[in-house]
C-alpha cells in the first residue's frame, strides 16, 4: 500500500483540478515561514475537503523536512468525544511526527516554543514490524509493538486569531505537530495483558507544584489508546518497523504557564508506573 503522504503528493501533481483547495506552493512557503518564526499562521485548505487537507499536509511535511527532519511516524488527534465536539469532528484526525521534534525526558524548554504553544498528556507506541498492518484488535496490534513510551506532546495551535479551526484545517497543518518529550521505553511482554493495562491505567498530568491538571483512564482515548493505531490503519496509513504512533491526548490541552514551571505525566497501572517530565523557563 502506498504511503498516504506520498499518495497525496502524487495526486497533487497529477490531478490539480481534483484538489482545488490543496495549498499552493506559495501558501506552504508562507506557513513554513510563520512556523519557523513561531508567529501565528494563515490556515491551509480552509473550506476544502479532507482530501484537500491531506494533500496540504503532505506538501507541508516535505517543506518542513529540512527544518524538522524526516517523518518518523504518525499521530492521531481529536481522539476524545469532547475534543471532537469542540471542533465539529465526527472522528479523529491524522498528522505526522518528525525526527527532530523528539526531546529527552527532563528537558528544559523556553515556554515560547511555538506561536501558540500547548501541553498534553499523550503516549507513543513503537512499531516492531510490519505485521501490525494486519492487526484487527488492540492485542494483535501490541504483538507488533516493541515498546510503549510515555509522551508529553508539546503541540502548537499555530493559527492566527480569526482563522478557522476545523478538522480540515487542523489536518492540513499536521495536527499542530511541534515538539514532544519521550520517556523511557516500557517493553511489551504480554500483548493481551498490556492491552488491559493500557485501557485501565490512570494517566495523571501534574504541574510543577504537584497540582493535578489532567486525570483520566486509558480508555479515555478511543476506548483503548491502541485503537489509535487501528484508526490510522483504517485511513490507509501503512506502518513500518521503527515508526512512532502518538495516540492522542488523555485530557484537555493547557498553555505552558499552567504548568507553573513544568509538567509531569504518570501512567499508573503500566509496569513500574512510568513518569515523563519537562521543565519550562520564561
What span, in angstroms and rounded, lies between the C-alpha atoms of 145 and 147? 6
How is residue 102 written as a grid cell? 523528539
Q: How far apart are the first and last CA of the chain?
A: 46
What span, in angstroms and rounded, lies between the C-alpha atoms of 168 and 112? 26
* pLDDT (tens digit per residue) in 222-262: 999 999 999 999 999 999 999 999 999 999 999 999 999 99
What span, in angstroms and rounded, lies between the C-alpha atoms of 282 and 280? 7
pTM (two decimals) = 0.92
Asked if residue 1 is part of any domain, the answer here is no
Q: Burial of 210 by CB count in 10 Å (0-12 exposed, 13-18 middle, 19+ buried)?
A: exposed
CA dihedral 173, 177, 178, 180 (to 10 degrees): 180
**CA atoms 33, 36, 41, 43: torsion sign:** positive
pLDDT value of position 174: 96
Closest by CA to 126, choosing from 145, 107, 98, is: 145
How is residue 80 written as a grid cell? 476524545
Asked if residue 81 is part of any domain, the answer here is yes
* pLDDT (tens digit per residue) in 153-175: 999 999 999 999 999 999 999 99
From first to last of its 282 residues, what are the pLDDT tens digits of the chain? 334 454 445 445 444 444 468 999 999 999 999 999 999 999 999 989 999 999 999 999 999 999 999 999 999 999 987 778 878 888 999 999 999 999 999 999 999 999 999 999 999 999 999 999 999 999 999 999 999 999 999 999 999 999 999 999 999 999 999 999 999 999 999 999 999 999 999 999 999 999 999 999 999 999 999 999 999 999 999 999 999 999 999 999 999 999 999 999 999 999 999 999 999 998
CATH, residue 176: 3.90.850.10
Asked if residue 166 is part of any domain, the answer here is yes
Strands 244-246 and 71-77, sheet pairing: parallel
Asked if residue 263 is part of any domain, the answer here is yes
For 171, the domain range is 70-281
Q: How many domains does the chain have?
A: 1
What span, in angstroms and rounded, lies between the C-alpha atoms of 60 and 57? 5
Asked if residue 156 is part of any domain, the answer here is yes
Asked if residue 118 is part of any domain, the answer here is yes
Closest by CA to 214, choosing from 120, 104, 113, is: 120
The residues, ordered by sequence, that sit 6+ positions from 216 with a Cβ below 8 Å of its Cβ are 121, 202, 203, 250, 251
Mean pLDDT of the chain: 93
Asked if residue 78 is part of any domain, the answer here is yes
Asked if residue 172 is part of any domain, the answer here is yes
Residue 198 Cα distances to 127, 219, 239, 266, 271, angstroms: 16, 8, 21, 13, 10
Amino acid at each position: 500500500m502506498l504511503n498516504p503522504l506520498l499518495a497525496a503528493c502524487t495526486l497533487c501533481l497529477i490531478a490539480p483540478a481534483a484538489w482545488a483547495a490543496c495549498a499552493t506552493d506559495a501558501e506552504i512557503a508562507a506557513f513554513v515561514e510563520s512556523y519557523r518564526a513561531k508567529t501565528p499562521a494563515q490556515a491551509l485548505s480552509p473550506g476544502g475537503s479532507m482530501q484537500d487537507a491531506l494533500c496540504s499536509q503532505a506538501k507541508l511535511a516535505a517543506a518542513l523536512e529540512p527544518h524538522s527532519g524526516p517523518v518518523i511516524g504518525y499521530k492521531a488527534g481529536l481522539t476524545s468525544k469532547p475534543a471532537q465536539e469542540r471542533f465539529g469532528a465526527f472522528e479523529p484526525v491524522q498528522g505526522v511526527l518528525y525526527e527532530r521534534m523528539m526531546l529527552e525526558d527532563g528537558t528544559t524548554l523556553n515556554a515560547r516554543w511555538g506561536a501558540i504553544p500547548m501541553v498534553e498528556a499523550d503516549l507513543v507506541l513503537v512499531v516492531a514490524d510490519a505485521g501490525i498492518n494486519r492487526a484487527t484488535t488492540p492485542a494483535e496490534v501490541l504483538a507488533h509493538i516493541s515498546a510503549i513510551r510515555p509522551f508529553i506532546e508539546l503541540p502548537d495551535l499555530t493559527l492566527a486569531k480569526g482563522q478557522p479551526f476545523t478538522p480540515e484545517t487542523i489536518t492540513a497543518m499536521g495536527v499542530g505537530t511541534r515538539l514532544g518529550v519521550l520517556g523511557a521505553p516500557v517493553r511489551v511482554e504480554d500483548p493481551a495483558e498490556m492491552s488491559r493495562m493500557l485501557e485501565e491505567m490512570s494517566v495523571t498530568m501534574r504541574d510543577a507544584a504537584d497540582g493535578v491538571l489532567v486525570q483520566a483512564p486509558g480508555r479515555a482515548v478511543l476506548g483503548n489508546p491502541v485503537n489509535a493505531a487501528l484508526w490510522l490503519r483504517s485511513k490507509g496509513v501503512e506502518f513500518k518497523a521503527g515508526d512512532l504512533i502518538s495516540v492522542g491526548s488523555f485530557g484537555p490541552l493547557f498553555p505552558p504557564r499552567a504548568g507553573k514551571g513544568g509538567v509531569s505525566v504518570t501512567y499508573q497501572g503500566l509496569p513500574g508506573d512510568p513518569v515523563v517530565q519537562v521543565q519550562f523557563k520564561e
